[in-house]
Amino acid sequence: MFSSARCLLRSAFSAINVASTSSFAAASSSSALASSSSAVLPHVLKNARRYATEATTSQQSPSEVNAALARTSILYKTYKPVTPGIRHLKRPLSPHLYQGRPLRELTVPLRKRGGRNHHGRITVRHRGGGHKQRIRIVDFMRTQPGPCDVVRIEYDPGRSAHIALIKNRNPNLFGEKVWSYILAPDNLRAGDVVESFRQGIPDGLVPGFVDSKDVRGKALEKKGDVGLTQSQTASTASLALGVLRAITIKPGNVVPLRLIPPGTIIHNIALNPQGRAVLVRSAGTFGQVVAHEDSGKYSQVRLQSGEVRKVLQDCVATVGKVSNPLWKNRNLGKAGRNRWLGRRPRVRGMAMNRCDHPHGGGRGKSKGNKQPRSVWGWVAKGVRTRKPGPKGPKNSNKMVIRERPRGKEKRGL
């Protein structure tokens, strides 16, 4: 019995020795082959011992989607959490912003009122404190014609978008008319040139195009010959119109709506031909010219909320999208940063007394089957308290063509 076991062990050890010697011989032969062939074909053996998937992935270039996903990690500045207040702090990166102080001639001091009116009563809640600030005087009229050079892009504590300091090239101007702040469009940088065409297209800017008062308020898309002499052919008219748009439709330029082609992205929209821009001014927002009416009086503009409304064609708008689109995804990180911005805490209605809020009172955390309401008693959810547009009271807002999407329409259901 023991003799048979010894025989089996001897045979097993001999098989192991044979296998090891054969593997050593194969390895030595392969190494010799590699050394002999490496001198001849080094580029062939570069990927010889790689897996097929590894070789193919190394040869493929990253797609645009992968490149975009790779860039998202460097769009925001985050911090090592050495303190709890900066653990979740996230700020959009803006290396192009000017690091110095603003132009003092274009600023005024901000006087704190804590949300109170001239009677001393609180009219806006949750306001008070905050760091000392100076208001930047932003030009929303853009009445000065002529090219202006963008000197720098600056941070404005009074708004979410960035502002641009521009200098007019007109040597006859002096004082505050030379320098001005404007709302910076997206991708506008120092060294760019912007221009305002609020007063109309200067004569001789485009050969063959005349922007006279006789042709104002008419749709440019109609037959392609509005603003041109009658003797010109259709090809000359379309060529002049194309040259005009190539000159005027640039980010930062102020152009009347009648001269902006449908589909153009715009912001800083005015509702009065002689008034300042009042719509689409927050960071990352934009509107779009939908169509020009055949009557030649109104243009249809889609706003950021999705509402489509009529605007006079003599009103102006700025080409482009508002800067700082990543502002909405920022994270302040701590409550104290809100206090630095002048925002006081917001107390829930259920935590108040019955005399202070419709949700207040009761024992414990009692909801009391109350309908959600504001502090002044207005129904807060599910009930419309204002009905503008065609569905509202008669003549409440004639300019609204389509209201902004709500409810299921907004969710795309």
What φ, ψ does residue 93 adopt, rounded to 5°?
A: -75, 130
Mean pLDDT of the chain: 81
Is 178 within 8 Å of 210 (Cβ atoms)? Answer: no
* Concatenated DSSP letters of 366-406: --TTPPPB-TTS-B-SSS-S---STTSSTTS-TTEEEPPP-
More reliable by pLDDT, 214 or 312: 312
Say what the pTM is. Answer: 0.76
| DSSP for residue 141 | S
Arithmetic mean of pLDDT, 51-65: 47
134-193, pLDDT tens digit by residue?
Answer: 999 999 999 999 999 999 999 999 999 999 999 999 999 887 789 999 999 999 999 999
Sole residue written with tokens 């959600």? 372
When pLDDT is cut at 50, 70 and 90, the band that residue 293 belongs to is very high
| Total H helices, total E strands in the chain | 6, 17
For residues 258 and 218, what is the distance between their CA atoms, to the nearest angstrom?
A: 7
DSSP annotation of 177 reads G
The pLDDT of residue 120 = 96
Spatial neighbors of 236 by CB under 8 A, at least 6 apart, are 208, 228
Burial class (CB in 10 A: 0-12, 13-18, 19+), 413: exposed
Domains identified in the chain and CATH numbers: 104-202+250-319 (2.40.50.140)
pLDDT score for 17: 52
Q: Determine which of 2-16, 183-197, 293-307, 397-411 has the lowest per-residue pLDDT on average.
A: 2-16
Q: Is the pLDDT of residue 97 over 70?
A: yes
Tens-digit pLDDT profile for residues 343-386: 999 999 999 999 999 999 988 888 778 889 999 999 988 887 77
pLDDT in the model for residue 31: 47
Q: Looking at the predicted structure, is the pLDDT value of residue 43 above 70?
A: no
pLDDT: which is higher, 10 or 130: 130
Percent of the chain with pLDDT over 90: 58
Higher pLDDT, 312 or 54: 312
pLDDT at 14 over 70: no
**Is residue 25 very low, low, confident or very high in pLDDT (cuts 50, 70, 90)?**
very low
